[in-house]
Structure 1
Amino acid sequence: MKDTEILIHELKKLLNGGTAHAGLKDALNGIPFGVLGERPYGLPYSIWQLVDHIRIAQWDMFEFSKHGNHISPKWPDEYWAKNPEPKDESEWMGISE
């Protein structure tokens, strides 16, 4: 296998998940909507804020990779949801599905 083929193969494995960690969908499966605003174990962010942070960061990396003129959100303020919980279930479902 050529180096580029190996790289493509490994990237596909990482993007599809199922290697060393659970995919985001599996990790979020079954979390009740009512607990999304809670901060587990005294952490500084709620479950919702952590999940939305992942969404924002992945979007930023994807856009940066697609467009050379992409402007990233301001770090760290624009990488975290301001509210500790989603505004409604449809906002949560947009991320968790």
Structure 2
Amino acid sequence: MPTDDRILRNQLLEFLRGGSAHLDFKSAVKDFPPAHYGTKPDGVPYSAWQLLEHYRIALHDILNFCVNPKYTALDWPKDYWPAAAAPPSTEAWKASIRAIEADMAEVERLADDPGSNLYAQIPWGDGQSLLREILLVGDHNSYHLGQLVMLKKLLTA
């Protein structure tokens, strides 16, 4: 195996940031109508606020797992989904976006840092590696960004 994994790290960053087949986060949340933050169309289980907060909570949890030796798992699904369909304010929506951007910057830093061993098992986990967790972040984010974009299209059609 090559000792220089720069190609892999660059591809991970592209995946995390949105590129190729994936939408970037800023494009997905851009111009989402505030009047619809808490709207759940018929047959749709989550509002935009619930999706955004789930995205934020799960991302933070995965990052915390990667870096915190005292990590404690959240309770699934209760701790991962907000009960309220609507945010308490427009500022709460914006704060959630800022928190996501900050956590993603940290995940990207881990992915880009040659000192981060992508392949070693996380000592407090049960076999997960940093690479696996970075891929999980990208996969989870892509899935829910797609839902958010579809919801935006449904609500603004």
TM (norm. structure 1) is 0.87
Contact 1:38 1:84 in 2 (8 A): yes
Q: Is the 8 A contact 1:40 1:47 kept in 2?
A: no
Partner of 1:34: 35
Distance 1:67 1:4 in 2: 24
Matches within 5 A, 1:15-94: 15-94=16-95
Q: 1:22 is matched by which residue type in structure 2?
A: L
Alpha-carbon shift at residue 13 of structure 1 (Å): 1.3
Q: What residue identity is the alignment partner of 1:5?
A: R
- Between the aligned residues of both structures, percent identity stands at 35
Structure-2 change in CA distance of 1:6 and 1:37 (3 Å): same
Residues 25 and 41 of structure 1, relative CA distance in 2, 3 Å threshold: farther
* Distance in structure 1 (CA, Å) of the matches to 2:20 and 2:42: 27
For residue 56 of structure 1, what is the amino acid of its counterpart? I
Aligned length: 97
Question: Which runs of 5 or more structure 2 residues have no equivalent in the other structure?
Answer: 99-157
Aligned Cα RMSD in Å?
A: 1.9
Deviation, structure 1 residue 45: 1.1
**After TM superposition, which residue ranges in structure 1, 4 or more long, deviate above 4 angstroms?**
none
TM-score, normalised on structure 2? 0.56
Which secondary structure does the structure 2 equivalent of 1:39 belong to?
A: coil
- Structure 1 regions of 5+ residues with no counterpart? none
Measured in 2, the distance between the counterparts of 1:19 and 1:57 equals: 23
Alpha-carbon separation, structure 2, partners of 1:5 and 1:33: 40
